[in-house]
Chain A
């Protein structure tokens, strides 16, 4: 069964460094998402992406964040200058269509900012 994959599974970085989290969505899906979950807290929406552009973003998704689909398969989340409070689990998800379709989640990347 096709699945969403994410790399790396765990990323440790120093405050102020740039990180890129990578996701490979399910191949025939058209909508892509990033979510984050700070330890012990609920999952939060960051951004959705369709047709090579952001379709919706939350207030969390400020200028430090960017997303890109650099080729036909990868979907990346870049954090330009990491802060301690960016430490969280980051989940990528994809869905075949918009409303009315299940979102399929990747296993997550645990980001630790020191």
Chain B
């Protein structure tokens, strides 16, 4: 069983739709990252959170430590949001354990 599970694996939506990507984990963590991987392969960190909620522009990330669950929301989605979104949990001091990613495609 994977320690970090994301759903859905693939998501296609129309421009303007509200997007939710989910992440569940089965291990104790000190923090959780949401990352964005572009088609060229580069990885960009979007959020690091250990409790509650964070917002940056149209992106919102929430985490429920007790339920071991996090969500990434995108409001007013745009084709440029098309990418793979990855959830990664921090185990111990430094080790990141990654989910398999969610491939998001936003059609105009």
Contact = CB atoms under 8 A, between A and B. Distances in A.
Interface residues of B, number: 25
B11 interface: no
Nearest to B38: A107
A99 B100 contact: no
Contacts, number: 62
Contacts of A68: none
Interface of A: 31, 33, 35, 37, 41-45, 48, 55-56, 58, 89, 91, 98-105, 107-108, 110
A105 B45 contact: yes
Contacts of B48: 100-102
A98 B93 contact: yes
A42 B93 contact: no
A42 B30 contact: no
B41 A108 contact: yes
A99 B33 contact: no
B96 A35 contact: yes
Contacts of B100: 41-42
Nearest to A43: B98
A23 B45 CA distance: 18
Interface string B49-78: 010000000000000000000000000000
Which residue among A35, A55, A99, A101 has the maximum number of chain B CB atoms within 10 Å of its CB? A99
A112 to B, nearest CB: 14
Given A56-B92, A56-B93, A42 B99 contact: yes
A38 to B, nearest CB: 12
Contact of B31 (A33, A44, A89, A99): A99
Nearest to B86: A43
Interface in B76-108: 86, 88, 90, 92-101
